[in-house]
A = this chain, B = another copy of it.
Amino acid sequence: MILTVTLNTALDLTYRVRSLRPHASHRVSEVIERPGGKGVNVGRVLAALGHEVTVTGFAGGGTGRAVRDGLAGTGGLTDALVPVAGATRRTIAVVDEHSGDTTQLNEPGPQIAPAEWATFLDRYTELLSGASAVALCGSLPPGVPVGAYAGLIRTARSLGVPVLLDTSGEPLRRGVAARPDIIKPNADELAELTGSHDPLRATESARRRGAHTVIASLGPNGLLATTPEGRWRATPPGRVHGNPTGAGDSAVAALLSGLVTHLPWPMRLTHAIALSAATVRAPAAGEFDRATYEGLLERVSVTTAP
């Protein structure tokens, strides 16, 4: 079983409006509602790839119930979310029909009480005993200590479970110091962590700070991987048009899938690129187009990096 942790789960709403104008009133013509938060998205993609996956983190209130109801129908996915008194946050993506652009509104998330955090830590340790890998994903809700990921990484490492960390800012900085197996920052997150805007230099710097492997996601330019076994650059065959929401989560899912099935790095990167691109190509955010995925597997270029 692969375990994904989403401390700040979300009910993701997508609203379609004619044209978003500040200070006006808008009729929403279409509402799409789905469980969200990075680790939840990663879990859904892993399940679609045929893995057994368990999703943990927090869920509460009516929005938390909606998240859990949405997950209940996903075959291969086990809901191990810890109930909390506060309500799971909503995120709202307002899609402008006119321009196709998206405006994002993100609620901060519920306040997590110390007792709820303690309950989660027990649950997490218990779940790790059956896990072949764990992914720690996304932002921290209020009340969770900023060094939370560092502690979760140490627990996983002490139990011999490989850890992937996908977050940003101070939680990433503190997490890296606890020596996670893989981090997957984008160019901005990597620059914030290391102070360097040069991807090669920045990935090396991130490794010196504690990450065993750094997979830098360079958007449409693909991935740059710096691992104990070598360095690779993986690039898609061409620019992919569509909705990039969830593309990073799909890359994380592919990296975890490759980790537990012991694929060599170039193949893991190929899968990550193809699955990301297939997610951009899918009409609904966070889904992936299987034909695009399979078609791209033979067309991703992977070269050793200097």
- Interface of A with B (CB < 8 Å)? 13, 15, 17, 20-29, 31, 61-63, 65-66, 69, 90, 92, 94, 96, 99, 101-108
Contact = CB atoms under 8 A, between A and B. Distances in A.
B101 A23 contact: yes
A105 B62 contact: no
Contacts of A24: 103-104
A180 to B, nearest CB: 26
Nearest to A28: B107
Contacts of A99: 23
B66 A28 contact: no
Contacts of A104: 24-26
A41 B101 CA distance: 35
Contact of A23 (B13, B62, B66, B103): B103
B22 A22 contact: yes
A66 B103 CA distance: 26
Interface pairs A-B: 3 shortest CB-CB? A62-B62, A25-B104, A23-B101
Nearest to A29: B108
Contact of A28 (B21, B28, B105): B105
A93 to B, nearest CB: 9
A61 B31 CA distance: 14
Given A15-B105, A31-B107, 13 more contacts: A17-B105, A20-B103, A22-B22, A23-B99, A23-B101, A23-B103, A25-B104, A28-B107, A61-B66, A62-B66, A62-B69, A65-B65, A92-B92
